[in-house]
Each structure stands twice: as structure tokens, then as C-alpha cells.
Structure 1
Amino acid sequence: MRIRSIIGAAAVAIATATPAAAHGVGEKATPHFEQAIPNIPGKSLIAVVVDYAPGGASPPHIHAKSAFIFGYVLSGEIESQVNDGPKRVFRAGESFYETPGSRHPVSRNASRAKPAKLLAVFVVDSDDKELTTPVK
């Protein structure tokens, strides 16, 4: 696995060089797929599964300026806020998206009793190295 795909996997949380490592409190991002898009030169598709323990959360972060992100809740309920939009709870089977350069101040399990799981799919410039940066 290339180091960029490992860093890309952390794009939902905080960039790290270790796959499946915890990033926030009760949150783990695991890489599942990375592939250059052959008919869109310079673009890649990266898929990451984010597991949230009950009450788990990702730290506030921003995404790469090129990253278009599709989020799909696999199980449980995820509370999310993108940029200055409203906080919203998404349930299993629901989805949302983030436009390039978005700020993600809230991404967390909406439940303190049950785990939640999110699939994040990124379309990003293939040479982007820092896909997620923590908000200071």
C-alpha cells in the first residue's frame, strides 16, 4: 500500500501514517480502496470506512481543496456539520456530500450507546498529499 493511500484513509479524521489507527476519541479510519480514475487524468478515488464507538468523534478538520466527498452511513447515526451549515443527523442508508475545500467542524456518532459506521468516498487530485488538516 502506498503511503499516499494511507494518508488518504485518514482524510475523514486526521492524517496519519498508520492504517486503521484511532484519530479522534472513539474513532477509527480504515482504508478500503484507492484507484486512479483512468478517464479523468490526475484524479483518484479513495474509499475509507470510519468506525465510531458510542460517543466517538473526529476532531474538527478541513479537506483538501480538490476533494469532493460522498459520505454514506452504513450503520448507526452520524451527526455532521459542513462549513457553516446546520448540524444534521444522518441514519443508516442516508448520505451527504462535501464540496472541495470544505471545513468539517462536526463529525461524530450521534449515539452514546451504539456504534456507527460511515463510508467516505473521495474524488481528489492524485497528487494531493494532505487530504485532511486538523483545525487549530
Structure 2
Amino acid sequence: MTAAKMLQDAKPPHIPEGASGMTVLIEWPPGDPGTPPHRHSGPAFGYVIEGEVRFELEGESERIVKAGETFWEPGGDVIHYQDGNARADVPCRFVVTMLCAPGRPMLTLVDEKELAERAHLRAPRPAN
């Protein structure tokens, strides 16, 4: 019996020479909306440890990633709209390993003007 279990197999874009990587633990209290819309300079791979994460990338429908599940995003020009706690009653925790393009910040917030210009690229919002 092996102790290794495949959780995710993704085909990321090319990773440039000189890229750096970091692994971070994110902890959101109940109901926390997470980081405002942003983008990463390189791909990011995540695993939810506890709770549920509301996850939305540009061009993809919003989804809930539950404890024990994974997510990934390509980075680059793609806007990451949501990564907050999907539940108002329990905290959530997730680990993300991110690869950073050389000489660029890992995370850049997206301003309201750009969000408006790219609104046509966002998937339809769920009806509440």
C-alpha cells in the first residue's frame, strides 16, 4: 500500500527560467470574501484543508471547492475573481503553491476600470 494519492494533475503553461515558488497557508474566518479580484504572475495550485472556498476565474463559472479537493489557475492575464470562504458558519483553510514569474509580483490587484473593460469575459453570475 502506498502513502501517495494523486489529488491533481494539471498541465500548466510554460514556467520561465528563473521563476520562484512559494507555498502559503490561507485562513479565512467565516464569511470572509477573500482577496479582491487579482491575478497571479504564474500558475497556482491549491488544496483545501478545511471548510469550503468560493473559487472563480475569468471565463469559468463560480464553483465551491470543498475540504479534500484541489484547484489550480494558470496565472498570467487571467483574473482571479474569488477565493473567499463560501460558508458563514465555519472557517476555511487552504494551501497554495504559486510560481512567480521573474521580476514580477506574485499577486496584483485588478482595478475597477479593468474589471469593467473585461466584464464580457466573466462567466454569468449564479442566480441567488
TM-score (norm 1): 0.63
**Structure 1: stretches of 5+ with no match in the other structure:** 1-39
C-alpha displacement at 1:62, in angstroms? 2.6
Partner Cα distance (1:135, 1:62) in 2:
5
Q: Secondary structure at the match of 1:110?
A: coil
What's the % identity of the aligned pairs? Answer: 26
Report the counterpart of residue 110 of structure 2 in structure 1.
135
1:101-122 per-position Cα deviation (integer Å, ceiling 9, x unaligned): 1211111101100000011101
Relative to its length, the structure with more strand (as a share) is 1
Report the counterpart of residue 36 of structure 1 in structure 2.
none
Larger Rg: 2
Match for 1:134: what amino acid?
Answer: L
Q: Does 1:119 align with 2:80?
A: no
In the comparison of the two structures, how many residue pairs are matched?
95
TM-score (norm 2): 0.67
**Structure 2: stretches of 5+ with no match in the other structure:** 1-15, 112-128
Partner Cα distance (2:27, 2:40) in 1:
22
Higher RCO, 1 vs 2 (CA within 8 Å, ≥6 residues apart)? 2
